[in-house]
């Protein structure tokens, strides 16, 4: 599911954790929030798909931690729409495994288990091996240029003076989605996009020791091997990259206690 960025109203309700979660709060460093403004919502009808995209972006960018409750009433006020439309958006997110709809509790940002985390990366290795095969077989010069430009943006974002955690990590994931898009296989791209989003959720719950500079270097190396037309080496390169990213997750250490306070931190 594509993730578009919008601007959440500065006056969004934040009277408690559940309401704040629904409002898709800004980052703790005081950065702008994402999501349409109440004024914009009043000027035109916001679709359920757009709402789902906004919430998905907030999850991928690690502004909505696992376990956060997404209240229909609060979301309806933020987007200026009926609860029926909010329910449709939440159903979409539920199908993408980014949230869970729990009886008597409502919608919660998913909290993937260690087993699920390992399964997600196992599936990514299968899917993205096929992405690499298709890419090597049919990539055009403009596709290589597109990914090279993305790597340039990654490295610019990684500069200490401009680096922002959520934007940096989203960019690293977007490289994989963009490579899938270059294959022209829409279904494969949708699956990769879902797995990348779920990987971001996993990395939020099981903090990673991954060095983003290392990931960007590996993207560069993967692209270099693809240019050579060596399919087997390119697939191996992608597998090694994903294995290293998975290995950087603290899957054996349990969920850190500090995760429980992230919603409050976002509002400070």
Give 163-191 pLDDT, tens digit per residue.
Answer: 445 556 678 899 999 999 999 999 999 99
Strands (E), 12-157: 69-70, 99-102, 106-109
CA–CA separation, 59 and 51 (whole Å): 13
Read off the pLDDT band of 212 (50, 70, 90).
confident
Average per-residue pLDDT for the chain: 79
Read off the pLDDT band of 238 (50, 70, 90).
very high
Q: What is the chain's alpha carbon radius of gyration, rounded to the nearest angstrom? A: 19
Q: In the 8-state DSSP scheme, what is residue 102?
A: E
Asked if residue 235 has pLDDT above 60, the reply is: yes
Asked if residue 210 has pLDDT above 90, the reply is: no
Other CB atoms within a 10 A radius of the CB of residue 178 amount to 16
Read off the pLDDT band of 37 (50, 70, 90).
very low
Asked if residue 22 has pLDDT above 70, the reply is: no
For residues 146 and 251, which has the higher predicted lDDT (pLDDT)? Answer: 146
For 17-110, CATH number out of 1.10.3720.10, 1.10.10.10, 3.30.565.10, 3.40.50.1820 equals 1.10.10.10
- Boundaries of every domain in the chain: 17-110, 114-247
For residues 5 and 151, which has the higher predicted lDDT (pLDDT)? Answer: 151
Superfamily in which the 114-247 domain is placed by CATH: GntR ligand-binding domain-like (1.20.120.530)
Give 190-201 pLDDT, tens digit per residue.
Answer: 999 999 989 988
109 bridge partner residues: 99
- Can you give the pLDDT at residue 137? 98
Q: Of 39-48, 53-62, 139-148, 157-166, give the lowest mean pLDDT range.
A: 157-166
Element holding 150 (H helix, E strand): helix 141-157
Give 103-137 pLDDT, tens digit per residue.
Answer: 888 999 999 999 999 999 999 999 999 999 999 99
- Can you give the pLDDT at residue 260? 41
């Amino acid at each position: 599911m594509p993730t578009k960025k919008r601007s959440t109203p500065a006056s969004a309700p934040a009277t408690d954790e559940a309401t704040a979660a629904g409002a898709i709060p800004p980052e703790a460093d005081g950065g702008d929030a994402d999501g349409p403004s109440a004024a914009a919502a009043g000027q035109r009808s916001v679709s359920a798909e757009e709402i789902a995209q906004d919430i998905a972006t907030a999850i991928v960018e690690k502004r909505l931690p696992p376990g956060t409750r997404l209240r229909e009433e609060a979301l309806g006020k933020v987007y200026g729409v009926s609860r029926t439309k909010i329910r449709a958006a939440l159903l979409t997110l539920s199908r993408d495994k980014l949230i869970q709809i729990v009886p008597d509790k409502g919608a919660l940002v998913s909290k993937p288990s260690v087993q699920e985390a390992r399964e997600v990366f196992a599936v990514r290795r299968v899917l993205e091996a096929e992405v690499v095969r298709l890419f090597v077989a049919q990539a055009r010069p403009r596709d290589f240029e597109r990914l090279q430009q993305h790597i340039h943006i990654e490295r610019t974002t990684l500069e200490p003076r401009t680096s922002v955690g959520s934007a940096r990590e989203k960019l690293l994931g977007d490289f994989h989605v963009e490579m899938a898009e270059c294959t022209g296989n829409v279904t494969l791209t949708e699956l990769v996009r879902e797995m990348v989003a779920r990987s971001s959720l996993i990395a939020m719950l099981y903090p990673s020791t991954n060095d983003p500079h290392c990931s960007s270097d590996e993207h560069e190396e993967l692209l270099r091997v693809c240019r050579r037309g060596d399919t087997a080496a390119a697939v191996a390169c992608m597998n090694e990259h994903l294995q290293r990213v998975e290995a950087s997750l603290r899957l054996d250490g349990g969920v850190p206690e500090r995760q429980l306070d992230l919603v409050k931190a976002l509002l400070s």
